[in-house]
Structure 1
Amino acid sequence: MTTADLADLALTYDEVGATSGTLPVGYHHLDVSRVVGQGRDWFDVAAARVLTWEVQRRAGLTVDASGAVALGVRAVLRMRVGPVLVRAPVEVVVVTVEPDRVGFAYGTLAGHPERGEERFEVALRADGAVEARIRAFSRPGAWFTHLAGPVGRRLQRSTAARYLDALTQPS
């Protein structure tokens, strides 16, 4: 599956943009944050990583995107889970670019093993700390994610921790 294959795929959930506010009921929720650095210079580095798919790449995923992060951009994320290569088609559904806050959310497209949305955000706090936050809501979208149950949620939490690590690591 490549980005050319994504044109006709539909989003697999109705609550588009909900990671920007109250997470919807009926889904598993994830909301984790961490201070990843200090000062405007580090905020700029972290913001650039968020808006270029570098967070996902540094976390070990392969990203085939139709462009840098922008509203409507579609991508196929690939991740190895043991011997299995998991393909996850997504669409950028929210982009935030403010002086002290940058982020985006992608929603799942047909063929993704989950249904829902995931948001990546960095903010420069008043005390100079750079805080990264990952928020998501999801539910199984394929037979194997139904079967995975708690193991799948554990995998989601460990991947979120790798995303935060990707924003903490120096170049």
Structure 2
Amino acid sequence: MFYPPRGYKPLERQVRLGSGEERFESAAKALMTWGVQRGSGIQITEVDEGTGIQYEGIEYNPDGSPRGMREPRVSQDVFADGGSPFIRNGMSAVLRVQVGPFHFSAPVRVVAVVDEPNRRGFAYGTLKGHPESGEELFLVEFREDGTVWFVLRALSRPSNALFWIASPLLGAMQRRFTARYLRSLLPARAG
């Protein structure tokens, strides 16, 4: 496999959110309750809690031959202070996006959750009906120097012929929402 896969455009952006453990925890809570999307003006609808099971991949023998599937991890239910459930593996939602007079539905499914001492986040893949085909990773990092960063990575391409024709507009929309995403967790916005 090649990176990026043929026809997909990669994107990686990051922004410093501040410093300290309190800032990290605050940003991670906002991120894990759809704060990036909501803070960007996107409505989160039709949420399905999913299974909580995360794909772990194939286990290999020392000689490189496949042994079988790794045992999947199941994420625990976690809630923010206000009772909002944290994003978990297998969760799906429809993101409702408005651009001028146009409204778009963008169905997604969470394909991975990152829950490490210094990194929290999730990745989702697009589902049928989304204007784009691809995946996005949203990650908050607490780095060794004490700074807190929001990292966004994506791979995408238009999902069908209509969106290929409209790809200049789709690219402009992606740039606009990327800028909004990067501002969404800043202290003045996320609290």
What is the CA-CA distance between 1:29 and the residue it aligns to? 1.3
Q: Is the 8 A contact 2:27 2:190 kept in 1?
A: no
CA deviation string 1:29-85 (max 9, x = no partner): 111111111111010011011111111001100002224310000000001011111
Q: Is the 8 A contact 2:30 2:190 kept in 1?
A: no
Cross-structure match for 2:72: none
TM-score, normalised to structure 2, is: 0.74
**4+ aligned runs moved over 3 Å, structure 1:** 22-25
Superposed counterparts of 1:90-105, under 5 Å: 90-105=108-123
Cross-structure match for 1:56: 37
2:146 paired with 1:128: yes
Cross-structure match for 1:165: 183
2:131 paired with 1:113: yes
Aligned CA-pair RMSD: 1.8
Q: How many angstroms apart in 1 are the aligned matches of 2:183 and 2:12?
A: 15
Pick which of 88-97 and 24-33 moved more: 24-33
2:173 paired with 1:155: yes
Cross-structure match for 1:66: 48
Q: Which amino acid aligns with 1:49?
A: A
Cross-structure match for 2:21: 40
Q: Which amino acid aligns with 1:88?
A: A
What is the CA-CA distance between 1:23 and the residue it aligns to? 4.1
Q: How many matched pairs?
A: 152
Unaligned stretches of 5+ residues in structure 1:
1-14, 16-21
Three-state SS of the structure 2 residue aligned to 1:70 is coil
% same residue? 44
Unaligned stretches of 5+ residues in structure 2:
50-85
Q: How many angstroms apart in 1 are the aligned matches of 2:4 and 2:19?
A: 29
TM-score, normalised to structure 1, is: 0.83
Q: Which amino acid aligns with 1:79?
A: V
